[in-house]
Amino acid sequence: MSANWDYSQLVKRASENGGPEMFLALLKRASKAEGRLQGVVAGGIVVGVGIKGYAYLKDYVLQLREIGAIAEQGLLEGMREAARAEDDETDDPESPASR
């Protein structure tokens, strides 16, 4: 049989690293470290996107509030002008509203 098949390579690597138990422990530690690194990278991406998303949403909400305030102000001014025009019509003795 060939000494180059997967199991023989695994046994050789395990014996070079202190036996099967030690080799398995090394693999677990390396996998956890790699997972932590991937988690940090993924977490950083999520946080970065979250911060950018929050900033965008905050700006969007502020713009909506500003637009709402402008619209409200315009509505109030229009209502005041209409009320003034109505008052002017009732003060004018020649207007049909005062008859």
Sequence ranges of the domains in the chain: 6-91
Q: Give the tens place of pLDDT for each residue, 14-45.
A: 888 888 888 888 888 888 888 777 878 888 88
Q: Give the tens place of pLDDT for each residue, 2-11.
A: 556 677 787 8
**Whose structure tokens read 């098949």?**
5
**Separation in Å, CA 19 to CA 7, 24, 25, 27:** 14, 9, 10, 12
